[in-house]
């Protein structure tokens, strides 16, 4: 049977009423931009784009998050902005790398969608040749008015599409338009994405967890108790042994979980108590939560469903628990039980 290209998959999805022509164009434009990013990432040291970006003052370039920008962060952001400017499908873009949203230039027609993305997540891994990725989320714009930051502040339930592109041994685009989660592998000879996994399903249960254990002493008690019980293995209350993986590149860790199950956790920690978590809601947690739920998994902030959270800030951070549904439910139950005990004792 002939391969199904991303273009064919999207045309068939449009024919089935799952998306319209404008959203199909948007996804194809993002996929084309990801191919360009894949080329730049793949060149590594030969591309002259490794290392930290240089700011106007000649020092390190720092983004709105207060993080040092890599040259590839800036290049990937520019590639996505430029690719989406002229097609007439977007009203505005927003990005981890930009303080505020960027409306489509007046020279071009405005469309009905908002695109928000992390152009190169995990970029601190670039210089050590570890997989990184682009994460994106699509919302409907408010018609007839110029887009602004506030228009992006919609819960994850309002996403009309979400996806990521992982730049690993192979480049893969993983996508949902609300009808399952599907994976496409880049055929470099043809230069096109080919459907390689239709309807990905995350196993309900798992024996594998992903977390940065070096933060353990900074977690809240419920988180301490949950991980202690994982580490206690078959002799402990969970009655089974667990394995651990942590790539420190969300796209790579989530891709593994979509592929074989597991739970990914980046909880709140008291290292920076004013920050509710490290990961950002709009362009990391929400798109990943939609992909995971569409694959039969679950995603919470330890207490409530990620997709139900009403955003207040464009770069808002949130604790993230996502992956195999039974394990996410168990981890969330530890937190809810702890909260209930605190209420009973008046703490």
Q: CA 179, CA 9: separation in Å to the nearest integer?
A: 12
Q: How far is the CB of 258 from ligand P6P (least distance, A)?
A: 15
* Residue with the CB atom nearest ligand P6P in the bound state: 250
Instruction: Give the 3-state secondary structure of 136-196.
Output: EEEEECCCCCCCCHHHHCCCHHHCCEEEEEEECCCEEEEEECCCCCEEEEEECCCCEEEEE
**Strand 90-95 to strand 102-103: parallel, antiparallel, or no bridges (unpaired)?**
antiparallel
DSSP state of 214: G
Q: How far is the CB of 23 from ligand P6P (least distance, A)?
A: 26
Question: DSSP letter string over 247-308?
Answer: -S-HHHHHHHHHHH--EEEE--BTTSTTSS-SSBIIIIIHHHHHHHHHTT-EEESSSSBGGG
Q: Which is nearer to ligand P6P, 25 or 251 (CB)?
A: 251
Footprint of ligand P6P (CB under 6 A): 121-122, 124, 212, 248-250, 253, 266, 278
Q: How far is the CB of 249 from ligand P6P (least distance, A)?
A: 5
Q: How far is the CB of 124 from ligand P6P (least distance, A)?
A: 5
Q: Which is nearer to ligand P6P, 23 or 320 (CB)?
A: 320
Q: Which two tokens stand for residue 42?
A: 């793949």
Q: How far is the CB of 286 from ligand P6P (least distance, A)?
A: 14
Q: Which is nearer to ligand P6P, 212 or 243 (CB)?
A: 212
Q: Which is nearer to ligand P6P, 182 or 317 (CB)?
A: 317
Q: Which is nearer to ligand P6P, 19 or 318 (CB)?
A: 318
């Amino acid at each position: 049977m002939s391969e199904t290209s991303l273009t064919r998959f999207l045309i068939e999805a449009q024919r089935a009423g799952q998306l319209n022509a404008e959203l199909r164009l948007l996804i194809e434009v993002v996929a084309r931009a990801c191919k360009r990013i894949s080329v730049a990432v793949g060149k590594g040291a030969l591309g002259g784009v490794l290392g930290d970006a240089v700011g106007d003052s000649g020092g390190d370039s720092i983004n709105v998050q207060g993080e040092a920008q890599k040259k590839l962060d800036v290049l990937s952001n520019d590639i996505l902005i430029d690719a989406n400017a002229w097609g007439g499908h977007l009203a505005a873009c927003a990005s981890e790398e930009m303080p505020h949203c960027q409306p489509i230039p007046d020279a071009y027609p405005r469309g009905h969608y908002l695109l928000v993305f992390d152009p190169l997540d995990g970029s601190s891994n670039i210089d050590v040749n570890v997989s990184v990725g682009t994460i994106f989320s699509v919302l409907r714009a408010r018609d007839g008015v110029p887009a602004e930051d506030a228009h992006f502040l919609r819960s994850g339930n309002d996403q009309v599409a979400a996806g990521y592109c992982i730049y690993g041994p192979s480049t893969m685009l993983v996508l949902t338009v609300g009808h399952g989660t599907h994976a496409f592998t880049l055929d470099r000879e043809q230069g096109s994405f080919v459907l390689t996994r239709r309807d990905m399903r995350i196993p309900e249960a798992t024996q594998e967890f992903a977390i940065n254990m070096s933060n353990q002493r900074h977690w809240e008690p419920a988180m301490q108790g949950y991980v202690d019980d994982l580490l206690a293995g078959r002799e402990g209350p969970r009655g089974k042994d667990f394995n651990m993986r942590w790539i420190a590149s969300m796209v790579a860790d989530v891709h593994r979980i979509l592929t074989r199950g597991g739970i990914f956790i980046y909880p709140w920690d008291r290292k920076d108590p004013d920050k509710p978590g490290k990961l950002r809601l709009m362009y990391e947690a929400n798109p990943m939560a939609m992909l995971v739920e569409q694959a039969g998994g679950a995603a919470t902030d330890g207490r409530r469903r990620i997709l139900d959270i009403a955003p207040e800030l464009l770069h808002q951070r949130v604790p993230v628990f996502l992956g195999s549904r039974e394990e996410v439910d168990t981890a969330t139950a530890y937190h809810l039980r702890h909260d209930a005990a605190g209420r009973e004792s008046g703490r």
